Chain A
């Protein structure tokens, strides 16, 4: 790691001010991503601002009947929180499908949103990468791209966002509350992460120096019919090749409301509202689910090594919707997301 100075912020205002007044600063929360990237020389901040003393680690109900998850609450504390388990089991299941118990004890909610891609070329400073070094090229296009995107990629970058938690947050339509030098604002979850386009160096729409203070979940948690299905090379402690968050609201066997979000397939959690709309008013049957799966993947493009993800994505959508129809069980939240 390159040398850097370290301070520990006590207040949100102090953290934002420290960032504004420093050269090459970065926030550090759990450290599980940024320290890794600093060891690889991919991230090279010269000043780190520690967030783990900030009073942002609480989980509390909101006036609107939802739940506010503090940015520095750990992924473990969030996943095991009784309100999350009971009202938003999809989120609990998705978090527990990610990383390991040790990592989840350090990783924070804010850091999870901000984690960077696991693209091998992004990590390897000996290869070109437009995300790491704009204009240098993309090692993954035409390279080994098993973990890369099949939807929404650009000619500059085909990386995927690696988070599990974010796939559930996308399906639940959370809000991201941020504070920056210019004041505070709220970002809809679908507007938080972005597609690579011509500026793959930007993973999301947070401005430099803005601090995530909380995530807010709306009242509706789809606690009866949910599934987070994660497919990967081993059934624990591995990133998703394809994952699906599916939630349904049923009247008998008729679908009243539905949301689908895919992980491992794009630069951001992938939602396709036109495809989701095909579920509404339809019977919750495999033939309905297959139509929707076709629609979600209709524009998918393989990159060579990851062509298998297109069919895997279709089948994962059908399976996740079947599981959600059958109804998530509380016990599923523990031994979660295995096929």
Chain B
């Protein structure tokens, strides 16, 4: 427990070199092979190894939603899962939803409704909202509030977020009818 770290104590696992191996992840439609350790979370793999820094690390403990991505169309918190467990799955991040010159309807709606201030929670909010739309269960304001509750916004842009998500949900519902 003391801090007398002896470099030649080779049997301590903390001092062993990280045992990495190649992992192929399908991110935003293309395969990427990354050299990862088993303990690399999906969030760290995306940000630190795949260079996709759109996905944000807020709490790193499942408590804020800023790391939300879609795996096979379902929204999850990428901070509480290991990258290696997602080999073969279809991962979508904010970079895969829209581009600067071709905004996703949710991105446009967030702009139109002033749905952010600092923008830190926004990629997670938008991925979560896309997950909510894929689920197809939330329609009313109350339902959207409840089903967006896994995404906190430190700036308190909730009114704008709700209006932006509602607009896109309504447009989708109208299109389906």
Contact = CB atoms under 8 A, between A and B. Distances in A.
A198 interface: no
Interface string B6-45: 0000000110101100000000000000000111010000
B142 interface: yes
A3 B19 contact: yes
Contacts, number: 96
Given A2-B14, A100-B65, A236-B146, A105 B84 contact: no
A103 B131 contact: no
A104 B169 CA distance: 21
Contacts of A100: 65, 77, 149-151
Interface stretch (A44-52, A58-66, A260-268): A44-52
Interface stretch (A28-36, A136-144, A151-159, A243-251): A28-36
B166 interface: no
A3 B82 CA distance: 13
Contact of A36 (B18, B75, B80, B150): B80
A6 B18 CA distance: 13
A39 interface: yes
B62 A103 contact: yes
Nearest to B18: A3
Contacts of B142: 335
Given A3-B14, A3-B39, A6-B84, A335 B143 contact: yes
A308 interface: no
Contacts of A30: 80-81
B77 A4 contact: no
Q: Which of B14, B147, B152 has the most CB of A within 10 A?
A: B147
Contacts of A39: 60-61
A32 B80 contact: yes
B137 interface: yes
Contact of A334 (B13, B18, B143, B149): B143
Contact of B61 (A36, A80, A106): A36
B93 interface: no
Contacts of B145: 236
Contact of B39 (A4, A32, A105, A236): A4
B132 interface: yes
B85 interface: yes
B16 A3 contact: yes
Nearest to A51: B85
Given A39-B61, A105-B76, A48 B38 contact: yes
Given A31-B85, A36-B80, A2 B13 contact: yes
Contacts of A312: none
A28 B38 CA distance: 12
Contact of B65 (A35, A38, A50, A102): A102
A20 interface: no
A301 B41 CA distance: 42
Nearest to A7: B38
Contacts of B92: none
Interface in A48-103: 48, 50, 52, 76, 80, 99-103
What 4 pairs across the A-B complex have the smallest Cβ distances?
A: A100-B150, A236-B149, A6-B38, A1-B39
Given A3-B39, A30-B80, 13 more contacts: A3-B16, A3-B19, A31-B85, A32-B81, A36-B62, A46-B13, A52-B85, A100-B149, A100-B150, A101-B150, A102-B150, A103-B150, A334-B143
8 contacts: A2-B13, A3-B18, A3-B19, A5-B19, A35-B81, A101-B75, A102-B77, A103-B150
